Structure 1
Amino acid sequence: MQEASPQLENGYTRLANELLDALIGAGLTARQWAVVMTIIRKTYGFNKTSDEIGLSQLSAMTGLDKSNLSRTVRELEVARVINRSSGTHGHTLSINKHHKQWGLSNQQPQLPKQQRLSNQQRKGCQNNNSGVVESTIDGLSEQQPQNTSLKTTQKTTPKDNLSRSLRERFDAFWSAYPRKKSKTAAEKALAKRKPDEQLFADIMSGLERAKTSVEWLDKTYIPYPASWLNDGGWMDDYTPAAYTAEQLAVMDAFNGALGESLGEASPEVFSAERAKAIDAFLGFRPKDPGFWQRYFPWVAGSVTVPPHCGFDYLISREGFSIVSGGQHTRKDAA
């Protein structure tokens, strides 16, 4: 059997010392401790503060049966050690890091004052009448400990509309969507769709078609992401955007002079950003509108291009200014 060799580079759970100290002194039972550590592993272990954790997951990690787990979770919730709220497929659990609100205590329950026996009294009774003392102690041991829990009023944490898998998919969608408006509404719209892997792939594919369409060239006409999701926008027909004849001519001029050495600018895959950059490039010298026809051949013959130089750099304001200003002009150029 190969010996275990835990390494930090294989993953670790980051936990504040103050919170760990509070847990150590909280007087948790073995079951409560197992549940708390599982929640910490599933949340802080993934750099999250809460997660949707079902009883099956808790059972798999703790080895406890679901009936005991359900009761233990309720105990921890009542004691405000953990927070529990409704999730998409179950309950969302998190540690209540405000440990001063916890109702658990590591102190042993105290007997009522009139029932306490001092050590001296107990010693004297043992000497004089041990039978009475034993009877008294036996009677006290059968009494139920006092309830030391605090009030169970609990403020629920804000509900996350998305499970962990949906959260990851939403983050990818939100990152790709060009008009970032009303994020909470967009989260709810995606949660309502509950896309599996295939549906999400269709959504992202439709989004890419929309982003390179004529309809979305003007961003003011791009719908809010929630509206797009609610209306099934990924299933719409879009007119693919294309470069204008003048934009294509600029790309052809570059490809003819520098495409072999620097890599060709593809006219087949439309990019709104590149089209906009070409239009800006054409306006650099308004008094010499045909300058671009001479620009690329001149670069090919007279300029030592900087590293990673390409079409987009040469037509950018920065690249055009540096190159045309002679910074990279060959010293032996005619």
Structure 2
Amino acid sequence: MTATVMRLDDVRRARQGSEGHRRMEEAGGFVAIPNAVFDALLEADLPGRCLKIALAVVRKTYGYGKAEGDDCTIQQLADLAGIDRSDASRAFHALVDAQVITARKGRYGSVVAINDPLKWDFSPWQNTTATTTNVAKHHAEPWQNTTHNRQLQQTKESKQKNAGVSASTGADPVPAVGAVEPASTPAAKPKAVDALAGFDAFWAVYPKRKGKALAQKAWQKLAPDADLQAAIVAAVERQRLSLDWQKDGGQYIPHPSTWLNAAGWLDEDTTVRPSWTPAQAEFVAMLDDELSAFVVPPSDWTAERASAIDSLIDAVRERIVKRLGADALQQDPDLLPHHTRAALRTMAERLDPAKFGIRTFDWWIRPENRDRIRARQFDRNDHNQQGAQ
């Protein structure tokens, strides 16, 4: 019996993997995706933008060892996926509806995670038309269309016999004995998946998501083509910013089925109320968290306030680039909100309520006042003279 001698280097190499893999790991690392998740994403046949957002969630969670979820904004997912924010928002909500991803309110945006593939539900997307086939791919899942063309099972002899009869008499070939003939059926109805084409994009942008079954029924009745689908989505994007749809917390937004049945996309445009961008809204929320004891957050949008907030965010961005380099924000999109919150927290630590009092956002946003806060130049006289301006 011959003994096998293994070199120590061989053992180490077997444990560490191939040289090529180690070079890849040193260059950028790996995203350790569970096989069940990876296989489910391959088989789910997701639309392009939905797949991109799903992969962005994978990168933000598994890529950073946060399988339980990562707190991020839709804008961050859109940037990571390389698509427009409005498209990312529609894809995001479609994935939430299908339970591919989970999302709950977070501190900065939403805490997102990939859901258990066994809980994924693609029933709104799948083809529900009955078929006569009983042939299926061995790996097919419920959301996949497993329809195959039906074929008559004939022997070589029966094919030759049929061919001979057809050639001699001109009659149609006679089916072989035992062959399964297609049952005579009435004209097939339009497939449900075709009648619902574009509905997910509409549902993702409509601000009041109630009565989904009724909305789907109204959509099927309407059966909009691609041009009308785009017009409907564009009309919802405009009307959701209108005063009528925003007042009283959206109380007067019609149900989606009512809006579709009334051809709401044909309504004349109403006055649109400008609103915060996602980055500005995130800043206002941070201000409320960190400085609400000293500064009253703005309740209404104005161009001056929006411009001042953008200026503050840009200043934080410039400091990050100066300190960590131009690529830092691309490598970690969470740096900007984290540094912004840290700056507000530092400002709160430098304020004495007895001396500073409570000020309005418009007073606080002025550069000269913020400079005095950083220099701790406020005293009781300032408060008595200026009050809560």
Class of the TM-score when normalised by the shorter of the 2 chains: 0.3 to 0.5
Which structure carries more relative contact order (alpha carbon 8 Å, separation 6+)? Answer: 1
What is the TM-score of this pair, normalised by structure 2? 0.33
Q: Which is higher, the Rg of structure 1 or of structure 2?
A: 1
What is the TM-score of this pair, normalised by structure 1? 0.37
